[in-house]
Chain A
């Protein structure tokens, strides 16, 4: 009898879970995943030469030999804000392993970005670059914020993520570590 009851009971539990969880899904923020897209075509990273918070020029071509994570973002972009802490945790976990995390802010000034960074936990310590006129968006094929590329030590774009991610997830960290060893 217990076996006969197991199927209806299982369905009942499933329906209950689905109704309870499903009811809340519509109005909640979309979950951040940890899947990266492997780019099908071999494309070299476009040029990127921008000023950082200290008004110094950072040029991506000087980072050859390292894995580079390039994140395009803005303080007013909700998923950008949500993933920023995970980018810092990724930076802390990989900074001694030949990995550089760069965030390219679109259209904002140093004061706006600086005051936002203090609200992020943990507060980002990786380089923040500034693209006030959004000139890098077209060559980098960025159509929406946030967009993130991961570039191998040869300067080839390997992975892309459109929309927010949990960058400190072990799957992403392992994918990056593999690029260093490649």
Chain B
């Protein structure tokens, strides 16, 4: 019997590891930052709030002045993670195409290159812009199954405390897939 239990448990547990999981929401006990996550078709997608003070500290340490980086840190910034655990093949995505719904209306994400243009002034350091560009979630990427992933900052471009829905979209050889996070809140 013990053998049966172990076999069944291991079998079901391995299946459940990368199975679809419903949306989960967790709040960090120390920082209060929320994480919204979901797994669909072998792909994990999550957004973790980056509090404005955290974003400010990060970019000021990279050489931005407060005035330079203020438009970004007040734009509802998340740490986005997308990971190909065991999808049916190579996944490909373009993050600016991920639909966002705010107050029942579509809302567009500002592409990374537009943010770089917006932050480029005569006094912005080149090293600050390089750090900014590469700290962002990739605008376009491909992940192989088995654990290719990225973690990067994603600005939603909404005021503090806004609530929205975002759909991560990817394709495998042209076939579309998606995972939606609902009721995601911008940090206060």
Which residues of A pack against B, CB within 8 Å? 2-3, 5-7, 9-11, 13-14, 17-18, 22-23, 25-27, 30-33, 35, 37, 74, 76-79, 106-109, 132-134, 137, 143-145, 161-165
- Residues of chain B within 8 A of A26, CB atoms compared: 24-26, 35-37, 46
Q: Does B40 contact A (CB under 8 A)?
A: no
- Residues of chain A within 8 A of B26, CB atoms compared: 26-27
- Residues of chain A within 8 A of B9, CB atoms compared: 10, 13-14, 17
The minimal Cβ–Cβ distance linking B165 to chain A, given in whole angstroms, is 18
Q: Which residues of B, 21-74, contact A by the 8 Å Cβ criterion? A: 21, 24-28, 35-37, 44, 46, 48, 58, 62
Shortest Cβ distance from B19 into A: residue: A18
Q: Does B150 contact A (CB under 8 A)?
A: yes
Q: How far is the CA of A2 from the CA of B150 in the complex (A)?
A: 47
- Some 27 contacts from A to B, beta carbons below 8 A apart, are A2-B1, A7-B4, A7-B8, A10-B8, A14-B13, A17-B9, A26-B26, A26-B46, A30-B81, A35-B144, A74-B131, A74-B134, A74-B135, A76-B58, A77-B134, A77-B135, A107-B134, A108-B131, A109-B127, A143-B138, A143-B140, A144-B141, A162-B141, A162-B143, A162-B148, A163-B150, A164-B149
Q: Please name 17 further chain A to chain B contacts, defined as beta carbons within 8 Å, in addition to the given A17-B13, A35-B147, sorted by A numbering.
A: A9-B5, A10-B9, A26-B25, A27-B26, A27-B27, A27-B35, A30-B149, A37-B146, A77-B151, A79-B151, A107-B130, A132-B126, A143-B138, A143-B139, A144-B137, A163-B143, A163-B151
Shortest Cβ distance from B145 into A: residue: A35
Q: How far is the CA of A8 from the CA of B37 in the complex (A)?
A: 29
Shortest Cβ distance from B2 into A: residue: A6
Known contacts A3-B1, A26-B35; decide if A106 and B149 are in contact (CB<8 Å).
Answer: no
Asked if B134 and A35 sit within 8 Å, CB to CB, the answer is no
Q: How far is the CA of A10 from the CA of B16 in the complex (A)?
A: 14
Q: How far is the CA of A137 from the CA of B135 in the complex (A)?
A: 14
